[in-house]
A and B are shown apart, each in its own frame.
Chain A
Amino acid sequence: MPDPSFVFAQSVSGLTAAMFLFLIASGLSLIFGVLRVLNFAHGTFYMLGAYSAYQFVQWIGVSGGMFWVAALGAAGVIALLGGVVERLLFRHLYGKEELYQLLFTYALVLILSDAARMIWGTQQKSVSRPPELTGAFSLFGATIPHYNLFILLLGPAIALSVWFVLQRTRVGRFIRAAALDRETLGALGVNVDALYTWVFVIASFLGGLGGALISPMRATTPGMDTEIIVEAFVVVVIGGLGSFWGTFLGALIYGQVLSFGILFFPRFSIFAVFALMAGVLIVRPWGLLGRPLK
């Protein structure tokens, strides 16, 4: 049995990874839940969030709270991009066959990630941590950087605030209603088109924010989009497509399986994650906390 402090460190690192995955997967799940589209381009929004954060940091630096401006600015840019894409292109595909929607989002992956390559090249880009959070502290013999602690707190905070918006506000009620029955909601006088755009904007904001916040921890490289999107799929499938807390649970499970998988079966931890996804789909296709689709 490995030493307990190591196990603790491992589970904290799994938890940190889970918070990032949650940020990205929650947007994916939101879009699927309301718009009924699996958005492959969501991973690319995440990558563009990381690149935009790098760009903002190049302009304004990270000190004096500027990192936070850069991160929010990057997420804002991605949210705007998401809104434009939805308005101009995506909306023409609602109600078409799934294959067309999937391939359209894949076309977006190709276009946007290549555009990122045109702008930022293929070199790795890294962003330094905000000076307020460069330190680390130690707990049960494991060293935890302050930045990771911040992420660990931010994840649940964002989960709660999105939940609050969905459950307790007027817009949230409309979004939930749109997920159930779009036509009736429209007939009741709600502007469903605008609502869809807003859902896309919020989801893109979450994806972009995930990318911006991960940029000080992992180098930003081309190809990180196709990697993360598959991971996010695993998370939403385990938790249940369209289920908000399911996505949170799925991210937690994914993070722990991956980090303990690396500990016990170093070679097959990725295998374990996909096997888990396949297992959930076979036994309970709508996921652990999801509801079966009509």
Chain B
Amino acid sequence: MARLARVPWGLLVLIAAFFVPAAGSRFYTFLANDIAIWALFATSLNLLVGVTGLVSFGHAAYFGIGAYTTGLLMKKLAVPFVLAFPAAGLLAGAIALVFGFFCVRLTRIYFAMLTLAFAQIVWAICFKWNEVTGGEQGMPEIPYPSFDWISGLPLVGGWRTAEYFYFLTLVLVALCLWLLRRIVGSPFGRMLTTIRENAERAEFIGVNVRRYELAAFVLAGAFAGLAGGLFGIFNRGVFPDFAYWTKSSEVLIMTLLGGMGTFYGPAIGALVLILLNQQIVAYTEYWPFVLGTILVVLLFVFPGGLAGAAQAAARRVWRPRRA
């Protein structure tokens, strides 16, 4: 068990992911790209839900803000990707700072309701502000970043634009996940877990709980914004329902499916859910029905998610021998 844990799984998955375009078809590259982006989105949410214990029902707002930011900058103002991508994280983080300032003052169900209200405000603006966001019709034809400079290089040339974008997504998502992992493992991250376990005690030992929660909210919003920025380009368009409340629950389902108690759980949830969706829609158009059923089973049988169930199974198989 301990030996298995020492294997750098994250790095191995990343390396394997780089071979998807070479080994598989264009379709698998598309799927892998989708998974990578949603993995980042779900992991960013887990910083709030799993690590800090704040249940946000409006995380799609920041995903949507990021998608619109990158999309608008690249399509309408022709800003290059190197600037438009971080801008998504910055703006989403800035808006998360404003919204979060009010949200962290509330507890439990009221926190969830306020995040939902703010997300619906974002959605309403995207839906109605036709001149800027394209309103209900959304904003199609977001350009890809330019890959001209790279395709001229030896060894790495010869791929299609969508495949270059996939490689770019992998690098950026891996970077973001690495950063998130550092954050969760840092003293700051430990303090967030302390707050989750017992906010009152954390306060007694002199921690400014609200400030820590706000910091987590901003970070989660910023990383969701980065995921959104990538998704708008990947999806070749940005639409108001990116910020609708059903998107927030989708990403919560991924997080729960993978397991909130572990760092990579949400990413695994994204992987499983997207692959499952792709398999099931081949047989039936009633994917929501299947998803709902999976969710009910999950809630009643495996509340720890897939990662939690796997850990429990592993503990049963490799029982650590204490000296």
Contact = CB atoms under 8 A, between A and B. Distances in A.
Interface of A: 38, 89, 92-93, 98-100, 102-104, 106-111, 113-115, 117-118, 226, 230, 233-234, 237, 241, 267-268, 270-271, 274-275, 277-278, 281-282, 285-286
Given A99-B49, A102-B55, A103-B249, A278 B121 contact: yes
Given A241-B109, A281-B114, A107 B124 contact: no
B256 A110 contact: no
16 contacts: A38-B109, A38-B113, A99-B252, A100-B303, A102-B55, A103-B295, A104-B295, A107-B295, A109-B292, A114-B292, A117-B286, A226-B245, A271-B121, A271-B128, A282-B102, A282-B114
Interface centre among A98, A106, A109, A237 (most CB of B within 10 A): A106
B106 A281 contact: yes
Nearest to A280: B117
A268 B128 contact: yes
Contact of A285 (B110, B124, B129, B295): B110
A111 B108 contact: no
Contacts of B299: 93, 100, 103-104, 107
B289 to A, nearest CB: 4
Interface string B77-111: 00000000000000000000000001001101110
Interface of B: 49, 55, 57, 102, 105-106, 108-110, 112-114, 116-118, 120-121, 124-125, 127-130, 245-246, 249, 252-253, 256, 286, 288-289, 291-293, 295-296, 299-300, 303
Given A38-B109, A270-B127, A274-B124, A281 B117 contact: yes
Interface centre among B116, B117, B128, B249 (most CB of A within 10 A): B117
Contact of A281 (B49, B113, B295): B113
A278 B128 contact: no
Contact of A274 (B108, B117, B256, B300): B117
A111 B112 contact: no
B110 A267 contact: no
Contact of B246 (A115, A118, A226, A285): A226
A98 B292 contact: no
9 cross-chain pairs, A with B, having the tightest CB-CB distances, nearest first: A110-B292, A111-B292, A114-B289, A107-B295, A278-B117, A271-B124, A110-B288, A114-B288, A107-B292
B296 A275 contact: no
Given A93-B299, A100-B299, A102-B57, A111 B128 contact: no
B286 to A, nearest CB: 5
Contacts of B129: 267
Contacts of B55: 98-99, 102
Interface centre among B105, B120, B127 (most CB of A within 10 A): B120
Contacts of A92: 300
Contact of A111 (B114, B296, B303): B296
